């Protein structure tokens, strides 16, 4: 019933993932409204959002939604909010998040005397990255893995409080707007009766 008449090609899907048709601002506004309208408490919604956003530091890209969902389920957060929270990790933010994760992980490995000196060549290309990943995967992946989960753990509390106050404020504003609308309708109805 709600399927597309003309299916999107892989290239169109990739383009929409990197740059949505309706634009980033409109997409974000839509997600914010949908999240605020969830029937759960502000605590559960903020918990889900924080799990989704913080798990984006980890290198396992295809599993971010699943990891956020499992954590939200275990800690009684909102599953849909966890899925929405993973949007924080996107092609525009991943490089910064992963750089922080790799840097923290390699620093910790160096602190304990483990080999994790991640050097990046001056000229980076897809073939150079592929060579680094295929020849020495653990030298890059293990520090990234450790740093990613530590960054997720460290970023969770501030993200939770940020999302909690934002969601609570938005829910209060929505409730006040609905009450004033109902008050105005009731006032208009009593004015028509006279």
Least confident interval from 80-84, 112-116, 186-190 = 112-116
Whether 74 is covered by a domain: the verdict is yes
Whether 101 is covered by a domain: the verdict is yes
List helix spans (H) across the chain: 10-18, 24-36, 42-54, 64-74, 79-85, 94-111, 126-135, 137-193
Compare 122 and 48 and report the one with higher pLDDT: 48
* Residue 48, pLDDT score: 92
**Mean pLDDT, to the nearest integer, of 57-63?**
89
Domain that holds residue 93: 38-167
In whole angstroms, give the CA distance from residue 69 to residue 81: 9
Whether 183 is covered by a domain: the verdict is no
Write the DSSP string, 147-186: HHHHHHHHHHHHHHHHHHHHHHHHHHHHHHHHHHHHHHHH
**Positive or negative torsion for Cα 75, 77, 83, 87:** negative
* Residue 116, pLDDT score: 61
**Mean pLDDT, to the nearest integer, of 56-73?**
92
Whether 148 is covered by a domain: the verdict is yes
Given a contact cutoff of 8 angstroms between Cβ atoms, the answer to whether 43 and 76 are in contact is no
Whether 102 is covered by a domain: the verdict is yes
DSSP conformational letter for 88: G
| Number of domains within the chain | 1
Whether 110 is covered by a domain: the verdict is yes
Whether 187 is covered by a domain: the verdict is no
Whether 73 is covered by a domain: the verdict is yes
> What is the pLDDT of the chain when averaged over all its residues?
84
Condensed to tens digits (0 to 9), the pLDDT of residues 14-55 reads 887 777 777 777 877 777 777 777 788 889 999 999 999 999
């Amino acid at each position: 019933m709600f399927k597309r008449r003309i299916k999107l090609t892989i290239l169109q899907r990739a383009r929409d993932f990197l740059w949505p048709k309706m634009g980033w601002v409109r997409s974000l506004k839509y997600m914010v409204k949908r999240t605020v309208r969830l029937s759960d408490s502000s605590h559960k919604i903020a918990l889900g959002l924080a799990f989704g956003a913080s798990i984006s530091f980890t290198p396992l890209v295809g599993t971010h939604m699943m990891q956020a969902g499992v954590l939200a389920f275990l800690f009684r957060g909102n599953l849909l909010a966890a899925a929405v929270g993973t949007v924080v990790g996107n092609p525009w933010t991943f490089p910064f998040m992963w750089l922080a994760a790799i840097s923290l992980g390699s620093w910790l490995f160096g602190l304990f005397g483990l080999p994790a000196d991640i050097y990046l060549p001056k000229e980076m290309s897809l073939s150079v990255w592929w060579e680094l990943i295929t020849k020495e995967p653990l030298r890059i992946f293990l520090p990234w893995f450790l740093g990613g989960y530590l960054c997720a753990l460290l970023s969770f509390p501030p993200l939770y409080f940020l999302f909690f106050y934002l969601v609570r404020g938005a829910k209060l504003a929505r409730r006040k707007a609905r009450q004033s609308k109902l008050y105005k309708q009731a006032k208009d109805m009593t004015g028509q009766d006279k």
